[in-house]
Amino acid sequence: MSCPNCGEPMVKAIYLGLPGEFCESCNTLTGLAAYAPPVASQTEDGPLFKFMVYEGSYWRALWHWLTGR
């Protein structure tokens, strides 16, 4: 998948527990994670609001996201 803005390849990311695609070149976020409530960006330190880039299975990544391991 490539970025709709700059065409660079995107990486998979989890935000608010939702899967999305993230562009490291221009910080574009797409997918379900892009629909996360705007308030989340102002409370990034909360454990549920962390942003995590991952590879492989979403479910495995979600487990790591939830447990912090």
Residue 3 beta carbon to Zn ion: minimum distance, rounded to whole angstroms: 3
Our finding on whether 14 is near Zn ion (CB under 5 A) is no
Interatomic CA distance for residues 33 and 50, integer angstroms = 12
Q: Residue 61 is inside which H or E element, if any?
A: helix 58-67
The count of residues interacting with Zn ion (CB under 5 A) is 8
Residue burial 13-45, b: 16+ Cβ < 10 Å; e: rest:
bbbbeebbbbbeeeebbbbebeebeeebeeeee
Of 15-23, 30-38, 43-51, 52-60, the segment contacting Zn ion by CB under 5 A is: 15-23
Give the footprint of Zn ion on residues 25-44 (CB under 5 A).
25-26, 28
The residues binding Zn ion (CB under 5 A) are 3, 5-6, 8, 23, 25-26, 28
